[in-house]
Structure formats: C-alpha cells, structure tokens
Amino acid sequence: MPIRVGVIGAGIMGADHIRNLATTIGGAEVTFVADLDADRAAAAAPPSARITTDPSELINSSDVDAVVVASHDSTHAGLVLECFEAMTPVLCEKPLAPTLMESLDVVAADADIVAATGVSLLSLGFMRRFDPGYVALRHAVRTRAQGEPLMVHCISRNASAAPGTTSESAITNSAIHELDIIPWLLDSAITEVSWQAGRSTRHAGTALQDPSFMTLRTADGTLTTLELYLNARYGYSTRCEVVSELGAAALQDSVLVGFEQEGTRREPIPADWRPRFADAYRLQLQAWISALANGEMPPLAGAQDGLNAALVAHAMIQSLHSSGASTKVSYS
Ligand SMILES: NC(=O)c1ccc[n+]([C@@H]2O[C@H](COP(=O)([O-])OP(=O)(O)OC[C@H]3O[C@@H](n4cnc5c(N)ncnc54)[C@H](O)[C@@H]3O)[C@@H](O)[C@H]2O)c1
C-alpha cells in the first residue's frame, strides 16, 4: 500500500513536491492538497486527490498517512503542532519556524512525543543534505582528503527576492540553508556570527539590505563567509568552496549543456532553485517515504537541527541589530 500524502501549500515548492510524489517517488500517492487559494490547490493536485482550503481538514483526514507542509514560513510551527496532535508524520519545509520562540515550542512538543513513543514524527526539508554535490563535499571534508579545513566560502544568489522580504527574513528564510549546511558539512556547531552590509541594490525594498555578508565561526575554528544576494537579477546560484591545508574543493554548477558560438562560450543559469536542487528534493522525498513505509526514522534533518539553525539565525539577527557586532550563539 502506498503512503497516502497530504500536501499543505500548493505554491512553487508544494507544486514541485506534489509533482515529484505523483511521478517519480516510489511508494507514495498524493491523496489530499490544501491551499488557502482553492484554484492553486486544484491546479497542483493530481486528478484523484481531494482538495480543501482548510489545512486542519487535511491533517485530520483518514485519507492521509503523512503530511508535507509547504506553506508560508509563518504557518510551519502551528501546522506541525497540529500534525503532532493527530500523531501524523510530517515533512515540514525549511525553516522550522521564523522565530526562536516557535521553534522552541515545536522542539518541546517533539521531545514529549519521542519520550512517549520513542520516535519523532518530524522531518525537516533541509534538502541540501541530499544534494549529490554537498554530499561529495562533505565526504572530502570528513576523510580529510585535502587536510584540515580552514575556511569555507559560500555565495547564495537569487534572481529576485520574494515581496516583503526584510533583512531579518532573508536570514530566517534564505541564509537558513547555510546555517544548517555548514555545521553538517564540517561536523562542528556554529558558535559565533556576524552580519554586515555595504551598498544595497536599488532593486531591494527599504526593509532589505541586499546583498549582505555574514561570517560563521564553528567550534573547530573554521571561518565561513556567506554572501547573500537576493536580487541578483541574472539567475539563481549556490556556491560553496572549502579551503583546506592541501587544496580546495568546490561545488560545481550543474549545467547540462554549454554552448559555444561566434567566439563565445555560454552556460545557461537556472532562474530559481528548482533545477539546481531537483535531485536533492527528489532524493529527500524518496528517503522520507521509504523510511515511513519501512517503519524507520527518516534520515532527514529533524527538530533539533531546525532549532540549531533557528538559534544561529537569532544570533545573526542580533548582530544585524547591533551594527554587525560579533555575536555568540547560545545553545543553552
Ligand atoms: N527547500 C527549499 O529549497 C525551499 C525553496 C523555496 C521555498 N521553500 C519553503 O517552502 C515554503 C513555500 O514556499 P513557496 O516558494 O512555495 O511559497 P509560495 O508563496 O509559492 O506558496 C505558498 C503557498 O502556501 C499557501 N498557504 C499559505 N498559508 C497557508 C495555510 N495556512 N494553509 C494552506 N495554504 C497556505 C499560499 O496560498 C501559497 O499557495 C516556504 O516555507 C519556503 O521557505 C523551501
């Protein structure tokens, strides 16, 4: 019997997850789609699936074995807690929540369930952990193939920021990927951060300093730099280079075809994150479904990973609000 999945939020990511679950993921069936926008739910849902504008109806439906939350960040904590009440496994898109307080609430509720049942119901969509490039980079770091890592340089660029993006939400929504992947990559917790910005593009609103530049210091002493540029206009790009004692290792852009013509070389750049991380989204979903089908704990990021990233984001926002002062991350 396939795992019957209900998907909440049928926007860019929800529609992508629905398409994957309905076409390439083995052992899953999308049976229910919820979106406040009924037309959007209907457009994204497979023909056999039910649709609703009420996510609670989906979570409590007997037609659903597991839930994907792909609605706005501000809805994550509440919907995950509802899934906990229904004792339904949930894969929540990143971030766990935009605020530290909500993240703590979810982690406390998750801990209660783990104490009572021995298993967590929550998986978190930090899908870079499934990206073949990041996996290979992590292997190189873990095996010390190039000696001890010393610095990491990350660049994260989008074509344009979502409407309403602020300098703070750029951290909790976008930079959160690096706040999760760097400790995972280096096997070392982020202990200290700083946030800086110089000139801002005229394409950013007044509430957003864009680009911004962040530093992350991990417990192992490695320093990571991150340029976050959400209105880069030209396309989507995620870069990561680990500089070690004997060499450097960097993610390669996943260009499938390059063009050479009239004395120039041209490589298409994706418009957004979906083509770049298509494999990661698919591998993550398959790992989640396969684990649920086998009665195992899914090997995805979990509640504590979401909280750790939220704690670092909280410190980063403190740095932003204190003129870029170096700020310690408190895990206690
Ligand atoms: N993992 C990644 O790489 C990645 C990439 C992009 C977005 N995301 C995350 O995925 C989530 C969705 O992002 P998106 O780009 O698809 O946004 P989107 O705006 O395209 O879609 C969000 C959808 O959720 C619906 N919605 C909002 N509140 C709802 C509610 N309470 N109940 C039901 N539906 C509701 C909206 O109507 C909309 O259709 C966000 O949390 C975002 O941070 C993750």
CATH of the domain at 225: 3.30.360.10
**Per-position DSSP letters for 93-136, written without gaps between them:** ESPS-SSHHHHHHHHHHHHHHHHHHSS--EEEE-GGGG-HHHHH
Does residue 200 have a pLDDT over 80?
yes
pLDDT of residue 256: 76
Q: How many angstroms separate the alpha carbon of residue 114 from the centre of ligand 1?
A: 27
Given 110, 126, 142, which residue is the final one in a domain?
126
Residue 94 CB–ligand 1 contact under 6 Å:
yes
Residue 33 CB–ligand 1 contact under 6 Å:
no
Give strand pairing partners of 218: 190
- Residue 253: pLDDT band with limits 50, 70, 90: confident
Tens of pLDDT along 71-127? Answer: 999 999 999 999 999 999 999 999 999 999 999 999 999 999 999 999 999 999 999
Same domain, 27 and 155: no
Task: Report the relative pairing of strands 248-250 and 149-157 from DSSP bridges.
Answer: unpaired
Q: How many angstroms separate the alpha carbon of residue 217 from the centre of ligand 1?
A: 30
Flag whether 197 is in a domain: yes
Pocket test for ligand 1, best of 93, 103, 176, 300 (most atoms within 8 A of CB): 93
pLDDT of residue 119: 96
Residue 37 CB–ligand 1 contact under 6 Å:
yes
Tens of pLDDT along 204-232? Answer: 989 999 999 999 999 999 999 999 999 99
Residue 183 CB–ligand 1 contact under 6 Å:
no
If one counts the domains in the chain, the total is 2
Residue nearest to atom 21 of ligand 1 (CA): 11
CA distances from 171 to 15, 42, 167, 254 (A): 24, 32, 7, 25
User: What number does the ligand 1 atom closest to the CA of 76 have?
Assistant: 41
Same domain, 108 and 176: no
pLDDT of residue 249: 98
Given 105, 126, 147, which residue is the final one in a domain?
126
Query: Residue 104: which domain range?
Result: 3-126
Residue nearest to atom 39 of ligand 1 (CA): 11
CA distances from 253 to 136, 219, 276, 277 (A): 14, 29, 8, 11
Contacts of 94 (CB under 8 A, 6+ apart): 124, 125, 126, 176, 177, 180, 306, 309
Residue 13 CB–ligand 1 contact under 6 Å:
yes
